[in-house]
Amino acid sequence: MATGRGRETGHVPHGPFLASLAEAVAGWRWDEVATLRRRGIDELGIQETRDAILVGSGFNGITRVADAIGIRTDPWTEEASVELRARHGIDSFAPAAKWSA
């Protein structure tokens, strides 16, 4: 899961739906995004759904830009994410240099 927190909502309205949408965007599952987009428009409204998709896409893009220009992960994040990265194979998605700030 994109958030690493299961299906917890964090008391965010529509939390499980937004988590599913974020996962679909981050996973490039465009058919699923289209289905969720239609559902979101019905349940949240068009602007709210657009905003959710833009935020999810933006986070993905920001990470890719940071990787491309060589910004390394800060030591606190690196240390705090060791278990999560190992469990989900995240290290294989980025150059090893990213994790050795």
Q: Where are the alpha helices (DSSP H) in the chain?
A: 15-26, 30-43, 46-69, 75-80, 82-88
Tens of pLDDT along 88-97?
A: 887 777 666 6
Q: Taking each helix axis from N to C terminus, what angle separates 30-43 and 46-69, rounded to the nearest 10 degrees?
A: 140
- How far from 46 is each of 38, 77, 85, 94, 99, CA to CA, in Å? 9, 34, 34, 34, 38
Tokens encoding 28 = 């490039």
Q: Would you place residue 98 in the very low, low, confident or very high pLDDT band (cuts 50, 70, 90)?
A: low
pLDDT per residue as tens digits for the range 9-47: 567 889 899 989 988 988 889 999 999 999 999 999 999
Sign of the torsion formed by the C-alpha atoms of 13, 16, 17 and 19: positive
Cα–Cα distance for residue pair 35/21, rounded to 1 Å: 10
Q: What is the CA radius of gyration of the chain?
A: 15
Q: What is the mean pLDDT of residues 41-64?
A: 88
Residue 13 in tokens: 């309205």
pTM, entire model: 0.57
- pLDDT tens figures, 62-74: 877 777 777 777 8
